[in-house]
Structure 1
Amino acid sequence: MLKLTGKRTVIAAALLAGVVLLYVQGNEERQQGNTSSETATCRVAAKEDGVRIRNAPVPEDPANVVDELAAGEEADATTEIQNGFRKLSEGRWVSVEFTQPLEGRKC
């Protein structure tokens, strides 16, 4: 049988406290609604063919086009909008004029 004295007692108590703390934090996040549900993520669809994805929210620079979306093609997005462009991810921006948030998404 294992004797819990001195250092062992302190280590066991610290480990138990850590596990309880992690559990409480995870439970608080769930209660606040931090879910990865599909409806919680912003997602947009292209309104027409050839919607340009740019590396910055600057329309005048034709060299900053990094990709295109086809009509109806969907992409994950953020809620950030600058100069009429929505940020999809780091270095990927799309015009809000040529895209539409999907219904039920938080954009």
Structure 2
Amino acid sequence: MPKRTVIIVGLLAAVVLIYLFNGTKSNANGSTPAPAANQCQVAVTADVLNIRKAADPKAEVVGKYKQGAKVNVDKKVTNGFRQVGQDRWVAAQFVKPVSGSNCG
């Protein structure tokens, strides 16, 4: 197999792995980071949950979370969305608070 083909296949495999693990980020000891005071921790209930650039169902998709991913979100729901970061929003109907998390 030519060297160029091996490199391209390797890069494609790396992109797929990054995509698959996008929603399961954790800190160095393997646990999900604790939420800040204005945040709560939720689990994704949809098979795949789009992360949007704004709190609007028509906003650009900027990422995805897989089912079961635990993420820290803002306690406040805006237009049916919870904020997960700067210009990053998820539909509130597809996440549920993790046991023991104070989501207001």
TM class, shorter-chain normalised? 0.5 to 0.7
Q: CA RMSD in A?
A: 2.0
1:68 aligns with 2:69: no
2:42 matched residue in structure 1: 44
| Mapped partners of 2:63, 2:56: distance in 1 | 15
* TM value normalised by structure 1: 0.57
| Mapped partners of 1:55, 1:106: distance in 2 | 25
| Mapped partners of 2:53, 2:70: distance in 1 | 18
* TM value normalised by structure 2: 0.59
Larger fraction in helix: 1
1:92 matched residue in structure 2: 88
The Cα shift of 1:48 comes to: 2.0
2:56 matched residue in structure 1: 58
Identity, in percent, stands at 34
User: SS at the partner of 1:67?
Assistant: strand
Question: Partner amino acid for 1:60?
Answer: K
Gaps of 5+ in 2: 1-33
Structure whose alpha-carbon radius of gyration is higher: 1
1:106 aligns with 2:97: no
Deviating above 3 A after TM superposition, structure 1's stretches of 4 or more consecutive aligned residues are: 38-41
Larger fraction in strand: 2
The Cα shift of 1:47 comes to: 0.3
Question: Partner amino acid for 1:77?
Answer: V
Gaps of 5+ in 1: 1-37
